[in-house]
Structure 1
Amino acid sequence: MNRTPAVAIALLLLSGVAPGHLAKEAPVAPGERIRVDQWHLRFLKADDANAISQGDGVIVAVLDTGVAPHPDLRGNLLTGTSTIPGAPGNGFLDENSHGTGVAGLIAAHGQSNKIGARGIAPEAKILPIKSSDEANTGKPDDLATGIDYAIAHGADIISISSSGGTSAKLVRALRDALSANIVIVAAAGNRPGDAYVGYPAVEPGVIAVGGIDRAGFHAAVSVSGPEIDVVAPAVDIYSTSFGGKYSKGTGTSSATAIVAGAAALIRSKYPDLPAEEVAHRLTATAIDKGPPGRDDQYGYGVIDLVAALTADVPPLGFESTGVTAPASTEARTGNGRDDGTVRGLVTLGVLLAAGGGYLIWRRHRRAGDPPPRISR
């Protein structure tokens, strides 16, 4: 069963336009302007979070259209692979720009304090895995092969930019990654092409990410549903592009990359924290929006980078008690649908995965129980 691409990412290349992607250019100067235009960094207080953690020592696998080398990613890009049959490679070929944008939102470091794009975790490493072609089309089994590669090559977080069909091989690969203590984040999907949260975001153990706009409210482009865990900025999000250029996108793709970066910050500061506890920190410290408690538009709320790194969060299993348990680990100093075509342009997935304990947490939160209160 083929599905329509998860719509609504408006790809806008700056300082150069990729044929077929846009109707017009935006006269935004590269380099100097891009940091100013990255409003989501200020909204999330990324500078404050980066004073605590920058993602050092964490590998984020980006399964997407490939990640092109970019000055703002220099030194952060590992040699990867291509899982597309008949198109071998090291993951650096990106004819679409989507994967390069995802990587930049996670780990771009810019070219100075004020020049170039910056990611949420600027010292994290990106493992590029090309699992979709230039049209953002890939097959579930190619995605599964990419997940297997990420597991074998030490990924701490898996980023998957797809929403669509599944297969037995893909389900098995996702569950293997969860069992391997890998954090997986996936985009919920974008309206109007998607009416419900797509796969793999609906897979138990995967964090499903929705989007908010510049005002912090539910973004019209974002799919809603009972599987939504957290939300992040998803409108007019600037990042890196192929050819050393920059791009602007709207969709849950961007929000998911941002959440993957947040997970990298947590895993860097708390290197021994299990994946399910990383996910738990993100939801327990999220800023509640909409009706009190978890809801279908915001999940548990908007991610709070600083609180996720500093709050006293009771570990899983303490939700129904008044006990505030000690931190789980010592912080590091310094730093069911049918087979079908997988589409990725809009749903930049950075699958945040967890182990068996998180599967219990996921079922628990679907029952409507709020996360434990935390000390900020």
Structure 2
Amino acid sequence: MDYYGFWQMLLEEIKAAPTNAQRRIVTFNDPRMYAGALSQWKSLKTKTPGLRQVQVSTLIRAFFVPAAGAGKLMDRYADSLCIEEDHRIQVHSVAPDKSGSAMMPWGVKSIHAPQAWSKSTGVHVKIGVIDTGVDFRHPDLKHSLASGVNLLNRGMMPLDDNGHGTHIAGTLAAAGGTRGMMGVAPRALIYPVKAFDHSGSAYVSDIVLGIDWCVQNKIDIINMSFGMKNRSKALHDVVIKAYRAGIAIIASSGNDGKRGGDYPARYPETIAVGALDRRQRVAAFSNRGPYIDVYGPGEGIPSCWLREGYKEMSGTSMATSHVTGAAALLLALRPGLSPRELKLLLRRTASPVRLRKGQRRASLGGGAADALRLLRAGARARRSSGSSSSAKAAAAAKA
């Protein structure tokens, strides 16, 4: 393959086309061809400013290119390339309900997180929050934040210009003590990954780059409170890579109030989350179905907001941050737990949800997340595993 010609063709197409924000995801069928194209791109981009618009995911061996240049690439290199649309993806929240105040949120109490803090507070667990950024000045979050990354502007901190990411971070790990708000895992460390703009919108390629960053930085859990209707091969590929790297991805199912749900929650490698109301029923807006692994509190959830404030919000986004927080409590006790084992424990320890008239339990999927039951089951599984290992070692010594 003529890698120089490949990039020159792309560059000419970009220059000739009108400027727009649309992009395409380009992957090579042969890893060696990707390596050749990557090497040529690195040598050319320093002298060719137009090629700096191209971004790269080393995890799934993909280039993200302006849509203007993708058409001719497919015509000439159809046997070598896979090109897919870089779809838009949205955060999963309803419009902000109302302003709130610092308190112990009902959702944190509902999953029995305070009772679990004598066993774990999530210390040293690294949570990647792919979202709109975070308010670094919020007093309840200042001890819970790492620097993270801004994928929209690599030279800036991942500052929140929407509010959604700050709300998620508060439920996860706020540590405001008696004067502020407490999140589910107050000693966990949040790594904000800003992939969404001020309107709560991102491209699939931004999410791919965010997961790529989390894998490279050895994050323990990724919170993904967003989704889309479209399937994406690139997104599924990077989710599988994270899963195989031992990173659990916890994803919101969406707010359409229907059976079924959005991607990436529908991928089997993620932990899919639906939302509950205060009465422990599946919230009217929440998506549901057998693929839901667990439900979390998601209606009228107070949490941190911009300008050091607080706000109530509803959505499967909010439910997901409760479940991610509970998972962080467990991973602090069981750091070697695989994503599959975490999913099984979350499902096994969930409490039954209350049914609305005409609902069948089997049609809803999992039950309500319970942090205390999760930790107890995790501790029992560790003791059982330890006893089994000791017995095997003793038998081997006798042999």
What TM-score do the two structures reach when normalised by structure 2?
0.69
Of structures 1 and 2, the one scoring higher in RCO (CA 8 A, sep 6+) is 1
What are structure 1's unaligned runs of at least 5 residues?
Answer: 15-27, 316-324, 331-376
Shift of 1:117: 1.5
- Provide the rounded CA distance (Å) in 2 between the counterparts of 1:183 and 1:4: 20
- Provide the rounded CA distance (Å) in 1 between the counterparts of 2:248 and 2:149: 20
Corresponding position: 1:54 with 2:111: no
- Provide the rounded CA distance (Å) in 1 between the counterparts of 2:140 and 2:107: 17
Q: 1:148 aligns with which of 208, 212, 216?
A: 212
Residue number in structure 2 paired with 1:257:
321
Aligned in 2, Cα 1:89/1:245: closer, same or farther, shift over 3 Å? farther
Q: Secondary structure at the match of 1:100?
A: helix
Residue number in structure 2 paired with 1:10:
95
Q: Is the 8 A contact 2:127 2:221 kept in 1?
A: yes
Q: Secondary structure at the match of 2:127?
A: strand
- Provide the rounded CA distance (Å) in 2 between the counterparts of 1:75 and 1:163: 29
- Provide the rounded CA distance (Å) in 2 between the counterparts of 1:263 and 1:148: 21
Residue number in structure 2 paired with 1:339:
none
1:155-304 superposed matches below 5 A: 155-164=219-228, 165-191=230-256, 196-289=260-353, 295-297=362-364, 299-304=365-370
Aligned in 2, Cα 1:7/1:78: closer, same or farther, shift over 3 Å? closer
Corresponding position: 1:327 with 2:390: no
Q: Deviations over 1:201-225 (max 9, x none)?
A: 0111101100111011111010112
Shift of 1:251: 0.7
Shift of 1:276: 1.6
Q: 1:126 aligns with which of 190, 205, 208?
A: 190
Q: Secondary structure at the match of 1:243?
A: coil
Corresponding position: 1:78 with 2:143: no
Corresponding position: 1:105 with 2:190: no
Aligned in 2, Cα 1:231/1:329: closer, same or farther, shift over 3 Å? farther
Greater CA radius of gyration, 1 or 2? 2
- Provide the rounded CA distance (Å) in 2 between the counterparts of 1:3 and 1:221: 21
Choose 54-63 or 305-314, whichever is displaced more. 305-314
- Aligned residues between the structures: 297
Aligned in 2, Cα 1:60/1:312: closer, same or farther, shift over 3 Å? closer
Q: Is the 8 A contact 2:147 2:191 kept in 1?
A: yes
- Provide the rounded CA distance (Å) in 1 between the counterparts of 2:245 and 2:90: 30
Structural RMSD (CA): 2.5
Shift of 1:45: 1.9
- Provide the rounded CA distance (Å) in 1 between the counterparts of 2:380 and 2:363: 24
Identity of aligned residues (%): 35
Aligned in 2, Cα 1:308/1:195: closer, same or farther, shift over 3 Å? closer
Q: Secondary structure at the match of 2:274?
A: strand
What are structure 2's unaligned runs of at least 5 residues?
Answer: 1-84, 388-399
Q: Is the 8 A contact 1:227 1:296 kept in 2?
A: no
Shift of 1:311: 2.5
- Provide the rounded CA distance (Å) in 2 between the counterparts of 1:10 and 1:175: 32
